[in-house]
Chains A and B, each alone.
Chain A
Amino acid sequence: MTHKTALRMVAASVALALAGVSGAALAAKVPAGVQLSPKQELVRNNGSETETLDPAIAESVGANNLTRDLFEGLTATDADGKVVPGVAETWKQKDPTTWVFNLRKNAKWSDGTPVTADDFVYGWQRFLDPKTASPYASTYGTFVLNGLEVAEGKKKPAELGIKALDKYTLEVKTPYPVAFLPDVVSNLNLGPVPKAAVEKYGKDWTKPGKMVSNGAFVLKDWQVNSKVVLEKNPQYWDAKNVQLTRVTYLPVEDGYADVKLFQSGENDWVYQLPPGTYDKYKAEFPKDIRNAPMLGLRYYSFNNKDPLLKDVRVRKALSMVIDRDILAKKITADGQVPAYGVIVRGTSGADVTTYDWASWPMAKRVEEARKLLAAAGVKPGTKIKFTYNTSEYHKKMAIFAASEWKTKLGLDTQLENMEFKVLLKKRHDGDFQIARNGWVADYNDATTFLTLVQCKSDQNDNFNCNPKAEELIKQGNASQDAAKRKQLLTQAAKLVMEDYPMLPLLQYTVPRLVKSYVGGYSLKNPMDRYRSKDLYIIKH
């Protein structure tokens, strides 16, 4: 589950882009009347040991949390998920595929040298260079002219669509109109990289004492599997609006150990509550519990090539009878929202779609589903196989689904659990009938979710393809009119879901405990990306 990065508010960013926003500092605004603690230090658990501190190859949520504090891209996203100026003060879409970013002149690296357009050119070229082998190269490379060709080694990094017009002006070319580019570039894979440090230290440039960074914080200490300590960067252009002086990231994986550290006061921020404990901790820590939906979808992949499941009537019947309300309220019981489409609430660039039958009474849904199965020639007692990775959480959901299919349709589900990596292999190889799946948005635009159901997409584990929907997506992406684009993408999402390629279940939430004295934590952050820059410690 690599929820990473960037993009938000397409409409807003388009508007900003066209207007050419002015870059006021928008960080850690402490509301009037809030008294700050004299000690501005935060300890936040990061869920696991980061795989790297090199922004070019960062992939996991945890690594991106860290690089987001250490580095700053052209833009950034604030606590509410809005795109705000980063190193770029203003930007403008010169023509449909050309953007110009004007960099602030007071942005500095932690060694005091200025951050220039060349640092971005170097950072982007390095990110897409096949030698760097960044896992995200194709995810973001697709938005930059020649990006994919460079990642594939067919073109040289120098041919990438990014150019320093002068020391503080950057020109970016896209292969097609990318309305949400300001959102994409807030992601640190596309951040600046200090060439001098990389060339001097090689792979070791990310180590304490060697790293040079341009974010609100600098690297102080890194003890593998124990902690990463950041300190406020006095050279940061907006340092006066950074309240925290020290941020310690912990790599605790065990959810219960995480909560115990929270209880004993050694951790201010539980990464994510252990499954099934939301109600318990909500009652125990009413002031500290924080839970909000984010841009993520829990779903089950149907193998559309399977002899039984290639019939759309069977897939539809299986989807219809799952009672998402009971699943959300009684089974997972952690505030998740029922989902009936591939797009989740809060996503920019398309509306949430649903099925007609979602509002029907369950009896009617069951009756219809039975008719569909009968028409498809599937008799009660037919066996289906459900594959998931070993976890109490997934098991509970799987048992619920199997019981729905058994009691309502008379189908016998064989549950098969396995290690995560084995499931991934089976899913990618199409060696399954129905498999657990999940997706967390990389950027806030409908296209990140549409990749799950698009023809020949790397992320499509269902092996479905709807050429008409594909055409609509293409038209939408080519359109410069935000409203038209939204309409086309919504239409595409609706159309492809009428094929029932997969079974949408729930929209993710991130239930966690954050000490009530941690200020600046917003529940309106759809990407679950919290810069420490926006946080502060309230007097307590």
Chain B
Amino acid sequence: MWSYTFRRVLMTIPTLLLVITVCYLMLHATPGGPFDGERKVSAAVMANLQAKYHLDLPLWQQYLYYLKSLLQGDLGASFRYADWSVNDLVAKALPVSLTIGGGSLLISVLIGVLLGTVAALRQNSIVDYFVMLLGNVGSAFPSFVIGPVLILVFAIWLGWMPAGGWDGFDVRYMILPMALLTFINVSTIGRVMRGSLIEVLNSNFIRTARAKGLPLRTIVVRHALKPALLPVVSVIGPLAISSITSAVVTESVFSLPGLGKLIVNGASNRDYTLVLGLVVLVTVVAVLLNLLVDLAYALLDPKIRY
């Protein structure tokens, strides 16, 4: 398993290089540059700005320059936020996104698996209908509808929570955005868990276990849960990426200083270094999560060996 892990980590390097190169070229091919504004700057000022950020060099030189600083762990200077480096900006946004996205994902897995299991065991019961309803509502209503409703009820009508913003790591500011992300994630995880467990419970080896006279509890915990979790583990990878690195809507609705907002603003401002830095980050996170998911398969399914 260790050599497998090592090989996978090694594979990250060409993946990253490819992603950076493609992204780099796409950014530079997009019309409009970082210093274009409603007010056009004079030719002299444009030249000064380009020289300051090395944009006056030929593209391949800029690219090599970027790779070189990347190897030294430097993501470069932001073109838009002049007082900060991309490292600064990422270092400030990442903890926020990890707390909101990662925290809500953990809670969602616990609640989702629990609800999905209960629903599968009590098919067509009230709990089952509730889980199905939750699943459908969560999939049907976009977060830009649910978010403002949460704000209206809990911040404006009841006044229990702030309507948005962020203050250090004050818990009050985390509750509503985490509730929103959790709701959406639980709806997916619960639905997948329910379907998967029902399928497993109908398989031959479970029938054998029942025939042996094992109590339901033992059957579920010891035999059914592990294989039923496989599809759940598969969806956790993409859910984690969307909750942590690209929760753009949630961040916008609750005015959070997270990664999603940074990447969207970076792209519309043509802040090349910021976008590239975030793409590097998202790629690394995605590759690592996929690796974790693959390793988790081996734990859950004895047939899978690396």
Which A residues form the contact surface with B (CB < 8 A)? 1-2, 49, 51-54, 57, 59, 130-135, 137-139, 148, 151-153, 203-204, 206-207, 223-227, 250-254, 256-257, 260-261, 263-266, 419-422, 424-426, 428, 437-439, 442, 458-459
Contacts and interface: CB of A to CB of B under 8 A. Distances in A.
Contacts of A207: 83
A223 B44 contact: no
Interface stretch (B122-130, B155-163, B196-204): B155-163
A426 B36 CA distance: 11
Contact of A52 (B49, B82, B88): B82
A263 B163 contact: yes
B115 interface: no
Contacts of A52: 81-83
B165 A261 contact: yes
Contacts of A153: 44, 48
A424 B268 CA distance: 12
Nearest to A49: B81
B163 A54 contact: no
Contacts, number: 165
Contacts of B43: 458
Nearest to B168: A223
B45 A266 contact: no
Contact of A426 (B30, B31, B40, B83): B31
B156 A263 contact: yes
A59 B39 CA distance: 10
Given A52-B83, A223-B92, A263-B163, A425 B257 contact: no
B31 A425 contact: yes
Contact of A224 (B33, B44, B257): B257
7 smallest beta-carbon distances between A and B, as pairs: A421-B32, A225-B257, A264-B163, A138-B42, A133-B48, A152-B44, A226-B257
Contacts of B32: 419-422, 424-425
B260 to A, nearest CB: 11
Contact of B51 (A130, A438, A442): A130
13 contacts: A151-B42, A204-B83, A226-B256, A227-B167, A260-B148, A260-B156, A260-B164, A261-B164, A266-B164, A421-B32, A422-B32, A424-B32, A442-B39
B254 interface: yes
Contacts of A459: 39-40
Contacts of B146: none
Interface in B165-195: 165-168
A429 to B, nearest CB: 9
A439 B148 contact: no
B252 A253 contact: yes
Given A131-B52, A421-B268, A250 B163 contact: no
Contact of A424 (B36, B88, B167): B36
B159 to A, nearest CB: 7
B255 A261 contact: yes
A266 B37 contact: no
A170 B28 CA distance: 45
A45 to B, nearest CB: 9
Contacts of A256: 148
Contacts of B163: 257, 260-261, 263-264, 266
A133 B36 contact: no
Given A223-B92, A458-B41, A458-B42, A135 B31 contact: no
Contact of B81 (A51, A152, A421, A439): A51
B92 to A, nearest CB: 5
Contacts of B38: 1-2, 424, 437-439
Contact of A458 (B40, B262, B265): B40
Contacts of B205: none
Nearest to B254: A257
B82 A51 contact: yes
Interface string B138-159: 0000000000100110011001
A138 B81 contact: no
A265 B161 CA distance: 11
Given A52-B81, A139-B39, A250-B255, 5 more contacts: A152-B44, A254-B253, A260-B148, A422-B30, A458-B40
B270 to A, nearest CB: 6
A161 to B, nearest CB: 17
A422 B31 contact: yes
Nearest to A422: B31
Nearest to A60: B37
B83 A266 contact: no
B263 to A, nearest CB: 12
B40 A133 contact: no
B36 A224 contact: no
Contact of A54 (B83, B258, B269): B83
Nearest to B77: A203
B35 interface: yes
Contacts of A223: 92, 166-168, 257
A114 to B, nearest CB: 26
B252 A254 contact: yes
A224 B92 contact: yes
A225 B261 CA distance: 9
